[in-house]
Copies of this chain bind each other. A is one copy, B any other.
Amino acid sequence: MTVASDPRVTDRVHQELRDRIFAGDLPAGARLSVPALAERLGVSRSPVREAIVRLVHERLAREEPRRGAVVADVSLKSLIAIYEVREVLEGLATRLAVENAGRRLLRTLEEVLGEHERAVSAVDLTAASEADMTFHRLIREAADNAEVVRMLDDVQTQVRLAMRTTQVTGGPKLAIADHRAIVRAMEAGDPAAAEGAARAHIARLRAVLAGQAGGPR
Tell me if A176 is interfacial: C-beta within 8 Å of chain B.
Answer: no
The answer to whether residues A148 and B6 also contact, given A50-B53, A53-B53, A57-B54 and a CB cut-off of 8 A, is no
Q: Tell me which residues from 145 to 173 in chain A have a Cβ below 8 Å from any Cβ of chain B.
A: 145-148, 151
- Min Cβ gap A68→B in Å is 13
> B-facing mask of A80-107, CB < 8 A → 1, else 0?
0110110111011000100000000000
Docked-complex contact A145 and B84, CB < 8 angstroms: yes
Q: Point out the residue from B53, B85, B146 that lies within 8 Å of A148, measured CB to CB.
A: B85
Docked-complex contact A92 and B84, CB < 8 angstroms: yes
Q: Is the interface of A mostly helix, strand, loop or mixed?
A: helix
- Min Cβ gap A108→B in Å is 23
Tell me if A65 is interfacial: C-beta within 8 Å of chain B.
Answer: yes
Which residues of A does B touch, CB under 8 Å? Answer: 6, 8, 49-50, 53-54, 57, 65-66, 78, 81-82, 84-85, 87-89, 91-92, 96, 145-148, 151
Given contacts A8-B65, A53-B54, 16 further A-B contacts (CB under 8 A): A6-B65, A6-B66, A49-B50, A50-B50, A78-B146, A81-B145, A81-B147, A81-B148, A84-B92, A84-B147, A85-B89, A85-B145, A85-B151, A87-B92, A88-B89, A151-B151
